[in-house]
Amino acid sequence: MDVIQQIRSGMGKDWISAIYEEQIRPGRTRSFKMDIPERENAPAILHTLLGTELKVGRLRVHCPDLGTARYLLIFATLGCREVAVPYDITTIPAMADSLTTALDRTFEAFNALTGKESPQARGRMRSKLVRTLREEIKAIGAGEMMPLFNRSTKQRQN
């Protein structure tokens, strides 16, 4: 059995793309684009006088709050250029927590399974793992740029 399949079966519903598909995408979301390289990155959250920013390489992305920066950090780590961000900002920190936990558990399981491999083989397997996660998230999609607000009102009955 392949290492990625072992990690996926061990993670179950805590697999990052499963969380993204089952908890994030069904809700009202907006798409968010980042012009970052499609590879594993080392992003950092910066607290500046202008607010919170996410730094990926030379690119700085302004974030409205720390929860959104933490949420985008997970996807920037995987190299996802376009992701869905929940429209309800009160749910973003909880989603960021679950995604961070899932990513940490994924990398811990990876390190446990590939401990005896050579550094070159581990690097190839880790990049394959990150590429698999990125492609699964890309296949699920980021959705519309703005969410639909189809609400019936007293003035407009739909």
pLDDT in tens, 48-103: 998 999 999 999 999 999 999 999 999 999 999 999 999 889 999 999 999 999 99
* 155, part of any domain: no
* 59, part of any domain: yes
Number of domains in the chain: 1
pTM: 0.87
The whole-angstrom separation of Cα 114 and Cα 9 is 16
- For 132, other C-beta atoms within 10 Å of its C-beta total 17
* 127, part of any domain: yes
* 150, part of any domain: no
* 76, part of any domain: yes
The whole-angstrom separation of Cα 42 and Cα 8 is 23
156 backbone φψ class: left, alpha, beta (φ>0; ψ -120 to 50) = beta
Residues of the domain holding 69: 3-140
Q: How confident is the model at residue 157 (pLDDT cuts 50, 70, 90)?
A: low
* 153, part of any domain: no
Please report where in the chains the tokens 């993204």 appear, as a residue.
20
Model pLDDT for residues 28-54, shown as the tens digit of each residue: 888 999 999 999 999 999 999 989 999
The whole-angstrom separation of Cα 36 and Cα 56 is 7
